[in-house]
Each structure stands twice: as structure tokens, then as C-alpha cells.
Structure 1
């Protein structure tokens, strides 16, 4: 008997099993390749479950989990218009375009899953979220703001209500006009101190604010006015404009109180005012004409003729050598600004006007001349 090798009954079985495995692996790779090819070549990466569940329903784009789409977006073909052109009007919200239903065919009826159909809208592409926000911000920044006509405000602020200037005070109206324009100011305790004397340095500062004088180019170095004195520039401007003059030995005496006659002489000199009628006839309105200094008679006549003199309580009493108070300086500065056309005149019984004095209280020109000769005025 010849020895034969033992038969291998399992070899045929292993061969059949290996073939099945090969077929299964081939089918699996084919299926995976088909899926990858379909997913890469398709225009939408999402599965169209609506088409699988209801082939006859209208396909719509599915939204992946945890994905928020604030605005409906659509795919743009490579040949679409670029998004870097600003539209002529702000972008408006665009709705989802209506897509036709998929026609049913043998493939769908047999249960095969068709990829979702991508519908390309015919309208211009919608910008992305970031570009849309940037576009809206740029349009907002380029838009011109609406300008509504505002109510015209008063150029002149209301006057300061000083606690020591009552409504019935004789100089209240003069003070109100000047305080509202910043020519005269009060004190930190909201007082004006109308009866307080005015010195020469303070008067120079008032002249500077009232007449807006040009800065002095040639300043006089007064021995009693330090370079860092608070009123140095005002004094220089008052000197250069012709309102004030110094004293001998290059002194100005800034702390010396100024008198009423000196205030009127300074205003007439700075404004270059003249009297159009007889000096003696004009000065005859004052009962104390004899008290007017000789050097100031022509200036006082010019001040009276131009309406600068304000006397309280009696218009016929000039009191030329009396120290001027803050209220009196305010009244005379006001009248000087009225003469220059900067302010409107106000009615006051304390303003001396030619022809307004009662004849029986006024001396005749002959009597006045006799008085001047007897007093040396």
C-alpha cells in the first residue's frame, strides 16, 4: 500500500471563506469610495434626510448641529460678482429662495438616496456675517448726521443777581447791562459792592474790558507799577489809547482812588469827544460848577453834551471831586458805550441831558459867566 499524504478537507473551505472575505472587503471599499466621491463631488456636504424620508417634498438645506446661521446664506459660483463693491444702498434682508420640488423617478422610488440639489439664486450673493457687519458699519460711518435747526440762543447771558443791589437801586440797570457782558464782575460772595471806591488800576482794567483796546506796543515803565502787577497790561493799554495819563517822575499811582471828574476826563479823552455848543452854557446846568477843576472844564462840557454824566441823587450836583464808586463808574462806562454805538440807551432820570433841567433851577448864561469870574472857574 502506498502512503498518501493526508487529505486537507478544510482547504476548500478556507478558500471559499477567503473569497467571501475578499468580496466583502471589495464591496466595503467600493461603498466607502462611492460615499467619499459623492460627498466630495456634491455641492452640499450635508445629508438630505428630507429627500430620503419624503422624496416628493421640497428639498431644503439642513443645518448641522451646533451651527448658528444668523442670516440665510447661499453658495456663490466662482464666476459670481465680487463682494468688495459697496452697494448704493444699505443691504436689506433677503429671504430663502423658493426651490422646485424634485421630480420622482425610478431611482428615488427604488429607495436610492439622491444627493440634495443645490439651488443657486438669481439675485446678487449675500455677504457673509463678518463682511455684512463691516459693510453696515462703513455705511453708518459714511452717512451724514441729520442736522435739525436748533433754537437760536441769546448771545448775551442774563445779568448777575447781586445780593447787595436791590431792584430799586438807582444804578441797577447800568450794572445789569455791564455784568451780563462781563465788563464788570462781582465778588466771590455774590456781592457787587456798588458804593465801594474804585482805584486807578481797577479803572484801567474796566476800560480794557469795555473798549477792547489793542495791546500796547510801547509801554511806559512806571516806577510804582511792577512788571508782574496784575493790572500792568491794562494800565499800558489805557495809557496808549489816551484814556489815562501818568504823574510826574514816571509814576501812575495805581492804588489811588479815582474821582468822578477824572473818570469823565478819561472817557472824553479816550473817545475824543467834543462839545458842539458853548462851554459855559453847557456847564450852567450844574449848581456846583465852581467845584470843577480848571483843567477839566472843557472835558466836562464835552462829557455833558454827549450824555456821559450820571448824577445821583440830584442831576444838578456834579460832585466832581468826590471819589467815584463802582456804581457811578458803571453808569458812566455804560453811557460811553452808548455813545460809541455798542449799547442801547436806557431811560434814567439821573442822566444829565441838555434842556432837561428845569429853567428856574438853572442859572442864566449871564449869571453863570459872572459866577465864573468871581470864583475863577
Structure 2
């Protein structure tokens, strides 16, 4: 008997899967696929369930996955639909009285259903004011009322402090009043030059600013006043208003310095001042009354009676033929405006006030007054006498 090595075990033969095993594997894969399908379908159904439970959805309408609802507005392309924004539909029922209604979820042309509507607040925000009419209505309805003055008040600026007009200058107050109203102006170097003479063209310009003169309809064509002369309009108005007159041969002499008597005659003529009955008696207040020209006697008397004459330094010296300075013209123009009631009077010792007082009868003396007064021991007059202490 021969010893042999143990034989190798024979490999097991592979048997084909049985029918039962194939069914078990198929069931397992089917179960796994069903679970996956169920989980995916549950996610979609939850979206649909939220859409059905939305407050803006109607109980009678149901959304199918493949159903496309007609949109009340124009169709919107898929790429044009913004996120979480639904079109406005006026045909849907209103849930809240102040809340605008929105339609239910409308499907896109590809069949995808949009998410549920956002919750609309019960109170809609107020739209911004975009028109001028709404702005005006908002201003009118504001808490603070708008007060509009019935008439605009004129504001008079303070007088200019000219560097050559001292505080104690005799004509300072007249200059301040006229300069603050723009009747008289200074020079670019903040000076007034009160002692500088005034020519006829400058005086016409001052009259134009001081008095309300009507436009001249028939202007005189003076040979020495060019049409484009700076003072031509002022000269025409002064002539038409009666303040100034020309010279013979149609000349005005605009560059000629104006005298004090010419200033007073011009103001008395322009204001239509009535001449007093006895002008010579009025003019007796002046020590140099003999120097007044004959043509100006009544006008100077009328100007004196109405308080237009201002003399410095001596009120009793008129100096009629002296060239008028800017300060003297300012003082006389101021007094003319006071006469018209446009300015308040300024107390000044240089204003000449002379009126024609009425004749007073001499008082009758009683016999008792004519008695010889008796003197008391202490020096006082008694019965019928008068004493001054």
C-alpha cells in the first residue's frame, strides 16, 4: 500500500442565482428607489402644501404641477420674474380692507411652480411725494401756518459813516437821512465831500431821486446837453416838473455851479409854494437881503416862510449868490421833503423860521394899572403893579 499526499480540496462550483435570490435583490433596489423617490416627492409636495395653505389662495382653486394658470397681466418671461415678487391682480378677493390683494402662485411656462406669496402688511407704506402739487398741499396742511405779510415794508439801511463828515458837523444829520435813502451818494473812497460845489446837472440828478417826478413828454433839446449825456433824463424831468429852467438860446449850462438862490428858487417853484403878501418884510430877517436878485424875491420869501432855508454858520446871513455846497443842498432838499410830509423834521439852529405874524391890537390899560404903585417895606410892588423876580 502506497502512501499518497492528501489531495487538495476541490474548489466549490459557482451555482447560478436562484429565482428567490433575484427577487430579493430586486425588491431591495426597488425599496431604496422608492425611498429616494418618496423623499424627493415629499419636498415638492411640501411646497405645494404651503401654497395651498397660503392666506391669499382660494379654497376652490387647486394647483396641479403641470397646470398653468392664466395670468391677469401680461406674460412675464422666466428670466424677467424677480425673486419673491408677484404681479398685482385687482380681480382677487381682498382679505384685509387696507391690504392690496395678490394672485395665487402662477406657474411659469416651464411648469415650475413659484414659491408661496409673501405676507402683505395690513398698512401699506405712504408713497413718496413726487409732484409740486403734492408738495404744496403738504406745506399747507403742516402744523405751522405760513404767514404772508399783506404789504412789504421798506427797510431803510443805516447811514454810511463818511470819513470826511465828523460827528459834530452841522449838516451831519441831513446827510445821514438822505444817504440812507439813496438820494445822495458818496464817492468810492467813502467820502462825501460836503464842501464840494454842485453843478446844475448834479442838482437835477438829486431832484430826480428826491421827488416823484413824471416822465417828460415834450423834452427840450438843449444845445449844450447831448442826447447820450448821463444827466439828460434827470434834466428833462426837472424841466417838466417845474424845478429848473433853461437859459436863452436853448442852453442849460449843465456844468455851471448852482448858487444858493437858484437852489431855493428851484425848490419853491417845484413845490408850488405860495408867495407871502409882503415878501420884503419876510426877507428883513437877513442882514444881506439887498443881495437877493429881484427875480427871486418872492420865491426866497416863500422858501423862508416854509422853513426851506438853512444858513451856516450865521442864520441871518443868506449868502444868496454863493455857490451851494453838497452839505447845503442836502439840508435844503431835506427841508423840502419835510414840507411834503415825507421826512420828519430835524431840530437845528441853522434852519431859518420866519412867518408873517398877524397884526395884534395894543392891549387896553385899565385905570387901576395906571395908578401909582405902592412899595412895601420889603421892596415888592402892591396893588395894580407887577413885579419881576
Say whether the fold is shared (TM-score over 0.5).
yes
Q: 2:96 aligns with which of 45, 65, 80?
A: 80
TM-score computed with the length of structure 2 as normaliser: 0.65
Per-residue deviation, 1:147: 5.7
Q: 8 Å contact 1:275–1:306 — kept in the other structure?
A: no
The match for 1:40 is 48
Alignment of structure 1 residues 146-225 onto 2, 5 Å: 146=144, 155-225=155-225
Distance of 1:329 and 1:13 partners within structure 2: 136
The match for 1:245 is 245
TM-score computed with the length of structure 1 as normaliser: 0.67
Distance of 2:295 and 2:46 partners within structure 1: 117
The match for 1:336 is 336
The match for 1:313 is 313
More helix by share: 1
Distance of 1:184 and 1:255 partners within structure 2: 18
Q: 2:138 aligns with which of 139, 142, 152?
A: 142
Question: Matched residue of 2:128: which SS?
Answer: helix
The match for 1:290 is 290
Per-residue deviation, 1:126: 3.4
Q: 8 Å contact 2:283–2:301 — kept in the other structure?
A: yes
- Alignment RMSD, CA only? 3.5
Q: 2:26 aligns with which of 18, 43, 50?
A: 18
Q: 8 Å contact 2:282–2:355 — kept in the other structure?
A: no
Distance of 1:238 and 1:83 partners within structure 2: 77
Q: Deviations over 1:164-208 (max 9, x none)?
A: 111111111111111111111111111100000001111011001
The match for 1:55 is none
Unaligned runs of 5+ in 2: 1-13, 54-91, 101-116, 357-389
Evaluate the alpha carbon distance shift between residue 11 and residue 324 of structure 1 in structure 2; reply closer, same or farther with a 3 A threshold: farther
Q: 1:9 aligns with which of 17, 24, 30?
A: 17
Over alpha carbons, which structure has the higher Rg? Answer: 2
Per-residue deviation, 1:11: 5.7
Per-residue deviation, 1:220: 1.8
Q: 8 Å contact 2:178–2:334 — kept in the other structure?
A: yes
Unaligned runs of 5+ in 1: 1-5, 46-75, 85-117, 357-377
Distance of 1:140 and 1:125 partners within structure 2: 29
Per-residue deviation, 1:230: 1.2
Distance of 2:145 and 2:236 partners within structure 1: 46
The match for 1:125 is 122
Distance of 1:275 and 1:79 partners within structure 2: 95
Per-residue deviation, 1:148: 8.4
Distance of 2:35 and 2:253 partners within structure 1: 119
Question: How many corresponding residue pairs?
Answer: 284
Distance of 1:227 and 1:21 partners within structure 2: 117
The match for 2:5 is none
- Relative CO higher for 1 or 2, CA cutoff 8 Å, sep ≥ 6? 1
Per-residue deviation, 1:313: 0.8
Per-residue deviation, 1:339: 0.3
Per-residue deviation, 1:225: 1.5
